[in-house]
């Protein structure tokens, strides 16, 4: 019997309080309302952002909550007004959106939708300010409009990318957040030319995706910068050719890179959120044409400080959000890059656990092991 229009009971991993293991619970998932779709999640992975808000240090704690935002699934039912998605479509729910109507969505230069851009403090659906999740009548908060740590979830249609049904969801689901963020920061924003040099600050999953973008762009030198030397060997698989650990030098790392490259790299991409790394990434690019792109999210009280002459000397500083990709318009084409073997994703997925063992994924990330842990919802 069809579940469309019905409340679905299913399993979800609920965060009841800060820093405590998630609890597998039976939740009730309401039907989608206007401009919403209900999705059966097949695979989800753990991103550092999930851990950050689970730990709830430095932002507003919101519990109980169903986390998760990097996932792939199949549309189970659609709400009123949804015309470009249908039951059975293969989709990626995405933490930011594209309403296709606001000034940002109508601009070719922006992906920062007025209606649906990331809002970490919103725990309900936009349509009516209510949650679609509940346990015994008590509402459970949403997370980033996606809440993929549930066998079924409800998402605004503007946050859903319809993709090729032949694409393996257990691989391409990582494109719904980290991999697109890093890869797009390089290919869409830094835009290195073939043969140029690129420095990548931070060799976690997003930084390695940025390195992958530099490799695909034909960069001649890709310099990885990280405080953790154990990351260097793995980074070679993503095209990184040289490594710098700032702790190994008694001068600022931007000076080290300038000496290595005869005046600075052509492009740099910062993926740590450290203000010092951001300053170094900007000051290590070559004057005249160097471009630095900031990806990492700093603490709210941080301030960026550099001498204005660095800008007057024709260095360019840019910021980016989700790799400058529009979720609905652009992400299906990025999936096709994977299908056409122009983009590698398998090497980002270093671990896999069944949904019942989702807390193991948190343990791996907290221990700094691996890049992405795939969580299999049917296991």
Say whether 181-322 and 8-22+71-178+324-376 share the same fold.
no
**Chain centroid, CA 110 distance in Å:** 17
* Residue 156 phi, psi (nearest 5): -60, 140
Cis peptide leading into 376, omega within 30 of 0? no
Q: How many other C-beta atoms are found inside a 10 Å radius of the C-beta of residue 56?
A: 16
Q: How much is the pLDDT for 379?
A: 66
Q: How much is the pLDDT for 300?
A: 78
Q: How many residues does the chain have?
A: 379
Q: Is 132 a catalytic residue?
A: no
pTM for this one? Answer: 0.94
> Per-residue DSSP letters for 269-311?
EE-S--HHHHHHHHHTBPTTT-EEEE-SPPPTT------THHH
Q: Is 284 a catalytic residue?
A: no
Catalytic residue among 44, 49, 146, 181: 49
Q: Is 221 a catalytic residue?
A: no
Catalytic residue among 113, 173, 271, 373: 113
DSSP state of 59: S
Q: How many other C-beta atoms are found inside a 10 Å radius of the C-beta of residue 60?
A: 9
Catalytic residue among 38, 65, 90, 117: 117
* Residue 357 phi, psi (nearest 5): -115, 30
Q: Is 249 a catalytic residue?
A: no
Which CATH superfamily, name and number, covers 8-22+71-178+324-376? Medium-chain alcohol dehydrogenases, catalytic domain (3.90.180.10)
| Cα–Cα distance for residue pair 215/218, rounded to 1 Å | 5
The ranges assigned to domains in the chain are 8-22+71-178+324-376, 181-322
| Cα–Cα distance for residue pair 153/67, rounded to 1 Å | 11
Strand partners, 40: 74, 152
Which CATH class, in words, describes the domain spanning 181-322? alpha beta
| Range 33-50 burial, b when 16+ CB lie within 10 A, else e | bebbbbbbbbbbbbbebb
| Cα–Cα distance for residue pair 94/301, rounded to 1 Å | 27
Q: Is 47 a catalytic residue?
A: yes
Convert the pLDDT of each residue in 11-50 to its tens digit.
999 999 999 999 999 999 999 999 999 999 999 999 989 9
Cα atoms in the Cβ-side hemisphere of radius 13 Å centred on 14: 18
Catalytic residue among 70, 151, 212, 270: 70
Q: Per-block average pLDDT, block size 10, for the chain (379 residues)?
A: 90 96 98 98 95 81 95 98 97 98 97 95 96 97 98 98 98 96 98 98 96 97 96 95 97 98 98 96 98 91 93 97 97 97 94 97 92 92
Convert the pLDDT of each residue in 266-292 to its tens digit.
999 999 999 999 999 999 999 999 999
């Amino acid at each position: 019997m069809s579940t469309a229009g019905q409340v679905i009971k299913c399993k979800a991993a609920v965060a009841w309080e800060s820093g405590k293991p998630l609890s597998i619970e039976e939740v009730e998932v309401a039907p989608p309302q206007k401009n919403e779709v209900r999705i059966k999640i097949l695979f989800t992975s753990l991103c550092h952002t999930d851990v950050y808000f689970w730990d709830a240090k430095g932002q507003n704690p919101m519990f109980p909550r169903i986390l998760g935002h990097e996932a792939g699934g199949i549309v189970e039912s659609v709400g009123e007004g949804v015309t470009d998605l249908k039951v059975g479509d293969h989709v990626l729910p995405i933490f930011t959106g594209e309403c296709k109507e606001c000034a940002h969505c109508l601009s070719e230069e922006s992906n920062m939708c007025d209606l649906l851009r990331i809002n970490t403090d919103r725990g309900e659906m936009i349509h009516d300010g209510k949650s679609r999740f509940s346990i015994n009548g008590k509402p459970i908060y949403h997370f980033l409009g996606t809440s993929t740590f549930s066998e079924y979830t409800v998402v605004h249609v503007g946050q859903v990318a319809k993709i090729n049904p032949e694409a393996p969801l257990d691989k391409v689901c990582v494109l719904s957040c980290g991999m697109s963020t890093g890869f797009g920061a390089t290919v869409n924003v830094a835009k290195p030319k073939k043969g140029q040099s690129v420095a990548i600050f931070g060799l976690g999953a997003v930084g390695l995706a940025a390195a992958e973008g530099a490799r695909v762009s034909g960069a001649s030198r890709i310099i990885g910068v990280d405080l953790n030397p154990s990351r260097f060997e793995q980074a070679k698989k993503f095209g990184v050719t040289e490594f710098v650990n700032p702790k190994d030098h008694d001068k600022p790392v931007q000076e080290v890179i300038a000496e290595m490259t005869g005046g600075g790299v052509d492009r740099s991409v910062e993926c740590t959120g450290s203000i010092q790394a951001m300053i170094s990434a900007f000051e290590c690019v070559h004057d005249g044409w160097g471009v630095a792109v900031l990806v990492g999210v700093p603490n709210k009280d941080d301030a960026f400080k550099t001498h204005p002459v660095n800008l007057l000397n024709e260095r360019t500083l840019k910021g980016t959000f989700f790799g400058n990709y529009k979720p609905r318009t652009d992400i299906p084409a990025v999936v096709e890059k994977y299908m056409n073997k122009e983009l590698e994703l398998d090497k980002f997925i270093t671990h896999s656990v069944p949904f019942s063992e989702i807390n193991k994924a948190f343990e791996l990330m907290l221990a700094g092991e691996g890049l992405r842990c795939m969580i299999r919802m049917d296991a």
